[in-house]
Amino acid sequence: MISLLIILVVILVFRRNYKLKINNKKDLTSFLETINKFDNKEQKNKTLKSISVASDTEKNIIAGLIKFEKSNRFLNKNMSLPLLATQLNTNTKYLSKVLSDHKQKNFNFYINELRINYIVNKLRKDSKYLNFKVSYLAEECGFASHNSFTFAFKKHIGMSPITFIDFIKLEKENNAYPL
């Protein structure tokens, strides 16, 4: 009986150690993947820093970005770095470099910021937007999904779209009935 108990304890200890080794390997693999992602981002940043854009090309891209922002083409759900680069008659590397140097943003941050600022403007200026569902607002400003819109909105504004809408409604009520 005692020998059976000892064998059982030994098996349990070996099994526990085996599971710990597997978990440690998973953790190590995850950690190494994170480091590799970081290294890849560093490489991309170094590549962008090493790219030199001719002054005339840079000015043309900046002028194109200004027109792009005024035209509201950023509301297109399918807007992407390659598409915008094509529209501006440049390549993606030059466009990324100009965005990084002059806007201090990558393309995704830039496009999301334009879209969020657009919808915030609509919410502030046009009361009917305060009654729309978040999914409609997301679609209206060019986001492919409700979730990506909510995430970007929180990142740029610091609160969820619903909280922001409630805040604006409260602000309008207080202005309508001053103390």
pLDDT in tens, 63-89: 999 999 999 999 999 999 999 999 999
pLDDT tens digits, 146-167 = 999 999 999 999 999 999 999 9
- Predicted confidence (pLDDT) at residue 27 exceeds the cutoff of 90: no
Secondary structure letter of residue 75 according to DSSP: G
In the chain, what are the domains? Answer: 55-176 (1.10.10.60)
DSSP 3-state of 116 = helix
pLDDT, averaged across the chain: 85
Q: d(Cα 74, Cα 68) in Å, to the nearest integer?
A: 7
- In this prediction, residues 1-16 reach a mean pLDDT of 80
95: closest CA among 113, 77, 108, 114? 108
Judged by average pLDDT, the poorest of 31-35, 56-60, 76-80 is: 31-35
More confident residue, 44 or 37: 37
Read off the tokens for 131: 């009654």
Q: d(Cα 107, Cα 87) in Å, to the nearest integer?
A: 14
Show Cβ contacts of residue 61 under 8 Å, excluding neighbours closer than 6 positions: 53, 88, 90, 94, 95, 98
Judged by average pLDDT, the poorest of 53-62, 64-73, 87-96 is: 53-62
